[in-house]
Amino acid sequence: MTDASKIIAIVLAAGRGTRAGGTQPKQWQLLLGKPLLAWSVEAFMSHDDIDAVVVVHHPQDQDLISQLPVAARCVEGGANRDDSVRCALEALKDQAPDYVLIHDAARPCLTQSLISSCIEAMRTHGAAAPAVAVQDTLWRCGDTVETIVDRSGLWRAQTPQCFSYPLICAAHAAATAQATDDVQIIRAMEHSVAIVPGDADNLKVTLPDDFGRAERILRGRMKLRLGNGFDVHRFGPGTQIKLCGITLPHKFGLLGHSDADVGMHAVTDAIYGALAQGDIGQHFPPSDPQWKGAPSDIFLKHAVQLAKELGFRIENVDCTLICEFPKIGPHAQRMRARMAQIMDLDRDQISIKATTSETLGFTGREEGIAAMATAALVSP
């Protein structure tokens, strides 16, 4: 069902997380190569119903923010959890959303299906949160077991906790005491909160051993796809060529139905290959006159969008240009920046390099340029 409501995810990351050990707050410690916090940020960014992500951080963590996706908005938090939520809600007032999802940065194993379930319940009830029914026997203890606690009707609370924006703002404005979560704030107004079946893997990283468990969960979910691409274009009349989105002066031009950007074509085919979705020729037939002279970023953007639609994100691409001339080294950084811009990636996810064929073969005779590329795609 289509819903035009605006939904923003708030990720709370202003705590210190000292029980997790390490030299940094737990939300900035690496989990499978990136900050623990980044996993939930990326999960929200990947969801079609989420319009924006706000990260609430500690004032001392300003220098760490560059590790997050650039699309995330960052807001300084307060002295405690309630204050941090209020900082985020206040920051949104000028362009108020319809709904907010409030999530703990320490829960990196958030799934797209849980986000969807929470949003559906939130739209219906105005307030919703995931939880898991308690299944273990509960004891009340001192040094020994004192009594058995009836577990019927008991649930373990999780996040994201989801509310209409006016409701959560009003609840925090009326709050007279600190709370352990936002459901408690809402319940103080006697507003009902729908329970969404939670996910046992949506754990909260609290202690050092929890990092290992989170890593096992995330590794078990990840799908890795590799693809390769290869392309060749011969030289012809002209005074410039286009390589990886950058126009370079040259004594020849490159011949092709489109703009003949051999590097971009190889990368595009590598992405299609990883997706098992054919090649450029199948998606943009050279027999179709509308693609005559077309800029190759059209093809690359299509491949990137297709990857997203199929549930994959591009982790990195590596492209090698094979030619005697022009020399690629002086232009490689500009090429990386341009390709990253087109693909909406960070520059350190793009590798552009070159080699010669030692004057052997058609590239050695300067009859054309070849390119080969590899793309790695992952599905969380």
Task: Check pLDDT > 70 for residue 380.
Answer: no
The rounded distance, in Å, linking the Cα atoms of 162 and 160 is 6
The rounded distance, in Å, linking the Cα atoms of 229 and 364 is 21
The rounded distance, in Å, linking the Cα atoms of 83 and 56 is 10
Residue 115 phi, psi (nearest 5): -60, -45
C-alpha distances in Å from residue 61, one per residue of 40, 76, 317? 18, 9, 30
**How confident is the model at residue 17, as a pLDDT?**
83
Cα dihedral 243, 246, 252, 257, rounded to 10, equals 60
**How confident is the model at residue 222, as a pLDDT?**
82
The DSSP secondary structure of 183-249, one letter per residue, reads HHHHHTTT---EEEE--TT-PPP-SHHHHHHHHHHHHHH-EEEEEEEEEEEEEES-SEEEETTEEEE
Q: What is the pLDDT of residues 131-175, one digit of tens each?
A: 999 999 999 999 999 999 999 999 999 999 999 999 999 999 999
Partner residues linked to 164 by β-bridges: 99
Q: What is the band of 1 on the pLDDT scale with cuts at 50, 70, 90?
A: very low
Q: What is the band of 6 on the pLDDT scale with cuts at 50, 70, 90?
A: very high
- The mean per-residue pLDDT over the stretch 270-296 comes to 95
Domains of the chain (ranges, CATH numbers): 7-221 (3.90.550.10), 223-379 (3.30.1330.50)
Determine what percent of the chain falls in helix, strand and coil, rounding each to the nearest 5.
35, 30, 35
- The mean per-residue pLDDT over the stretch 290-313 comes to 94
Choose the weakest-confidence range: 85-99, 180-194, 208-222: 208-222
**How confident is the model at residue 141, as a pLDDT?**
95
Percentage, residues of the chain above pLDDT 90: 90
In 3D space, the residue among 9, 120, 13 whose CA is nearest the CA of residue 61 turns out to be 13
Q: What is the pLDDT of residues 107-142, one digit of tens each?
A: 999 999 999 999 999 999 999 999 999 999 999 999
Helix (H) or strand (E) holding 343: helix 332-343
Three-state DSSP state, 147: strand
Q: What is the pLDDT of residues 218-270, one digit of tens each?
A: 988 888 999 999 999 999 999 999 999 999 999 999 999 899 999 999 999 99
Partner residues linked to 13 by β-bridges: 57
Helix (H) or strand (E) holding 321: strand 313-322
**How confident is the model at residue 315, as a pLDDT?**
94
pTM of the model: 0.69
Averaged confidence pLDDT in the chain: 95
